[in-house]
Structure 1
Amino acid sequence: MGNRLDTKQDKGPGQIQVKRLISKDTMPYLLLLPVFIYYAVFWLLPVASGVNEVFTGLDGRFTLFGNFRLMLESDLFDRAVMNTALFAAISVVIQYFIALTLAVLLSRKFKGSKLLMFVTMIPMAITPTAVAIIWKTGLVRDGWLNTMLVGLNIIDKPFVFMNLEGLSMLLLIILIDTWTVTPSVMIILIAGLQGVQKELKEAAYLFGANKWRILMDIVIPILKPSIITSVIMRLIAAIQVWAIAVMVLGYSKVPFLVERIAFFVDVVPGIDTSGKIAFTLSFTTTIIVLLATVIFLKVSKSSNAAGGGR
């Protein structure tokens, strides 16, 4: 017992001070400190540097609208804005409805549902570069897509998809993107459907509700958090689309906002104004993503409040 008492008494003031510093309240912050440092060095500093470039002219002086004027006057900027807006609006709606239909269908676990799940998940396992290669080889005149369509007697002769322009080519890019990303949206919705209890559906059937009313009045409201998450993710990704369009068609065929950033960085890096335009486009795209997300959340909350009021 004397030894135990001596051990307790051996603790010096330094050990007590360390114990006070590393308390339960300070420990979480100490554990998160490396993450904060990492983001400060590799994210916050580059972002601050980029914002500084946006508001600094070619002469090194502050400018409020000078670089934005260069951006507005840059090649294909108006088409890039229009294509990005159309792509985001059309692709999000199409992908959401396809994903919701597949999620509701697969949640019923019918015979062959596992095989259908496997087939629909295949695009998720393919990298964007491989997706571009697959579709680029399919869209040429003698590609696999024409071979399949002619073999099924859907078309009489091969069609040159790569010659499409304007809205037709944009819709083709939307179809490729839909094939690629719909499974990821579907997975989020399937996870949300796990929270729908069978008892709720059975009670609705007992009160005379049909499948459509159950879907609209029970399933969709329970799925709202998953729907909001999936739509926001797809909206952000749709605004930032560029890789598939560039890898399949090359630059400037179907311009997007982020595609213009890559164009000025990769294709014309030697021009004095190209860097300023790229930084300004990045800043503008970020603001558009934030505004689109905030507006969608506001609309979702107001619709929820209206639904709750009813």
Structure 2
Amino acid sequence: MSDSNKTDFTNPSTFILLGIPGLEAAHVWISIPFCTMYTIAILGNFIILFIVKTEPSLHEPMYYFLCMLAITDLVLSTSTLPKMLSIFWFNSREIDFSACLTQMYFIHCFLVMESGIFVAMAFDRYVAICHPLRHSTILTYPLVAKIGLVLVLRGIMFILPYPFLARQWPYCRTNIIPHSYCEYIAVVKLACGDTHVSSYYGLFMVLCVRSLDMIFIAVSYTQILRAIFSLPTKDARLKALGTCSSHLCAILSFYIPALFSSLTHRFGQNMPLHFHVLIASVYLLVPPMLNPIIYGVRTKQIQDRLLRLFTHKGI
């Protein structure tokens, strides 16, 4: 074996991202739907932010949480897509070691933030449906700001060990990452030595953060559904359900791909590698694209403001 194949990657200056291994010949074609989803995500979330900012009637807790979701989606998609498209279009596979760890941090940090925002939105719907007369006194603007700050700090602090753990391992095998972005486990798998601490912390994040968020959301909606079905008329029940429908659709678009990606990663060992990478890539693209569409279609106030905006401009 030549010396070049024994290169010591203890402190690699760069990593090599393969994109979607096995589908290199189709990278240009794959980039078309990916670029389309990214464009929709950017435009849709900026429109949501613009509408909420310029429409005083939307200055309510529900829409402030929606703005937090839009900002999170913008950062999440922008953390991955530009580099992914440069791989697909220009075969630009190199990424600096520090840039890789930074990308890893932003991706996982904002995924945790997004999960927390869905919990906050579920709490908002719970108060609005179960305690409608006290909604404005419970969810005050200072409380919404504090919730937002807690969600940001939670994401920052819980994911902070990721880059530090990844940086301390020696990389003596290779610096080639068979992925389209710097996913935490994909990077850790390249490390030599005992990486059990990284694996256990990753499992902790899944069980104690994502799972707890899903439990809180489930408990909130259990109470919400009990309150809805106790309403006296069918029209009242349908109206109450309608106020939750957009949030439920957004939750499903976030957690179902996450669950599917996690299951295929852990139990789909016989599946080809390109399938795993495709699912993991789509998982980061679909929610940022769908969220503004869901809220634009399902929320009458946003529809009306968007219609007035286009009508005023003569579109």
Rg larger in structure: 1
Fold conserved (TM > 0.5)? Answer: no
TM-score normalised by length of structure 1: 0.26
Which is bigger in relative contact order (C-alpha 8 A, separation at least 6)?
2
